[in-house]
Chains A and B, each alone.
Chain A
C-alpha cells in the first residue's frame, strides 16, 4: 500500500494564479482532511470530508475549496493564490472506527506564492 500520497511535492505560484493539490489514499478510509502548517506552528485544519461527495469547513477555510468526487481522492483548490497561502500543506485520512484518532498523513506539499 502506498498510504497517503500528495501531488505535487513543490509548487511556486504567482499571486492570483490558481492550482489544485491532489491527495490520494489507498486504505479505503472514509474521512479525509487538508491541513496547512506554517513555521513555528502546528497544523491547522482547512477543510475535511466524512465521505464521498461530502465536504465541511475546518479552522481556516477562507481562500480554499475542496472536492471529494471519489472516495480515494480529496482535492484542495486555490482559485486566486495570495502570499499568505505560502505554507506546507498536508493531507490526512482515517476511518471513524477502530483506531479512530490515528490519522495517516501524506508527505506534504510545499507551496510558495510570490
Chain B
C-alpha cells in the first residue's frame, strides 16, 4: 500500500496508556483545527475538530486541546489500543482563504503490547 512517511517523529506508547500528540500551527486567523488519522495504505480519516473560539472538545476516547496563546494543538487518546497505530496529522482551515485545509507534517503513533 501507499506509505505515509518514512521520517516522521514517532511516539511510542504502552497499550492501555494515554497518548498525547502535539502540534504547532502557524495561522492565528484559522477558524477551525482538525485532527486526521492515517493508517498504512489508506487515505486520512477525520477524527475530531475544534473551533478557534474553543479551548477543549471531547469525542469518543479523544480530546483536543487548543492553546491560542502559544499556537499549540494537542490530541489526547485515552486507553490507547493497537488499532490506534497510525500517523496523526493536525490541520487548520481558514474560511477567509477559500476554506482550504493546511496540513501539518504528522506524528507516527506506535503501540507497544
Contact = CB atoms under 8 A, between A and B. Distances in A.
Interface stretch (A11-19, A67-75, A102-110): A102-110
A101 B34 contact: yes
A43 to B, nearest CB: 5
B46 to A, nearest CB: 4
Contact of A42 (B2, B43, B89): B89
A59 B34 contact: no
A interface, size bucket:
20 to 34
B interface, size bucket:
20 to 34
Nearest to A101: B49
B5 A39 contact: yes
A101 B57 CA distance: 15
Contact of A40 (B7, B43, B102): B7
Contacts of B93: 101
Contact of A105 (B44, B99, B106): B44
A34 interface: no
B103 A58 contact: no
B42 interface: yes
Contact of B43 (A39, A102, A108): A108
A90 B100 contact: no
A103 B46 contact: yes
Interface in A56-91: 56, 58-59, 88, 90
Contacts of B46: 99, 101-104
A43 B92 CA distance: 12
B103 A101 contact: no
20 contacts: A37-B2, A37-B4, A40-B5, A41-B5, A41-B106, A42-B91, A42-B103, A42-B105, A43-B103, A45-B101, A59-B100, A90-B43, A92-B43, A99-B46, A101-B46, A103-B46, A105-B45, A107-B2, A107-B43, A108-B2
Given A92-B43, A104-B46, 5 more contacts: A4-B43, A42-B89, A45-B100, A101-B93, A107-B41
